[in-house]
Amino acid sequence: MDDQLNERLNGLEARMNAIFVSVEKTRKYFLWTMIITVAMIVIPLIGMAFVIPGIISTYSSQLGALQ
């Protein structure tokens, strides 16, 4: 009886370890997906903060030259 119980517990432990490895891989995948997504949104926003004022000043100077 004890042998069967130990055998079953060892089998369950092996399954739990396999599930743990799978969950950790999934967690890392989601973490990198989130990091890449945030980078693809934040980096262009920071770039636009520097580019848009230059564009506005160029357009306003062109409009001033036309008048």
Q: Provide the pLDDT for residue 63.
A: 78
CA distance 44 to 41: 6
Q: What is the DSSP letter of 1?
A: -
Q: Provide the pLDDT for residue 67.
A: 65
DSSP output for 37-51: HHHHHHHHHHHHHHH
- Tokens 């990091």 correspond to what residue? 35
Predicted TM-score (pTM) of this structure: 0.63
Q: Provide the pLDDT for residue 64.
A: 76
What average pLDDT score do residues 20-46 get?
96
Q: Please, what is the average pLDDT of the chain?
A: 92
Could you tell me the two tokens for 23?
Answer: 């969950």
